Amino acid sequence: MFEFDQYLGFLAFLSILTIGFWLMIFLLTFVIPYWLGGSIIELIKEKRAAKKAKLEE
Any domain includes 28: yes
pTM of the model: 0.68
Residue type (1 letter), 22 = W
Distance of CA 34 to the CA centre of its chain: 8
Cα–Cα distance list, 33 to 23, 24, 36, 40, 57 (Å): 15, 13, 5, 10, 36
Each residue's pLDDT expressed in tens, for the chain with a length of 57 residues: 779 899 999 999 999 999 999 999 999 999 999 999 999 999 999 999 999 999 887
Question: 55 in a domain, yes or no?
Answer: yes
How many separate domains does the chain show?
Answer: 1
Examine residue 52 and state whether it is found in any structural domain, yes or no.
yes
d(CA 48, CA 37): 17
Asked, for residue 45, whether it belongs to a domain, the answer is yes
User: By C-alpha distance, which of 35, 54, 53 is closest to 43?
Assistant: 35
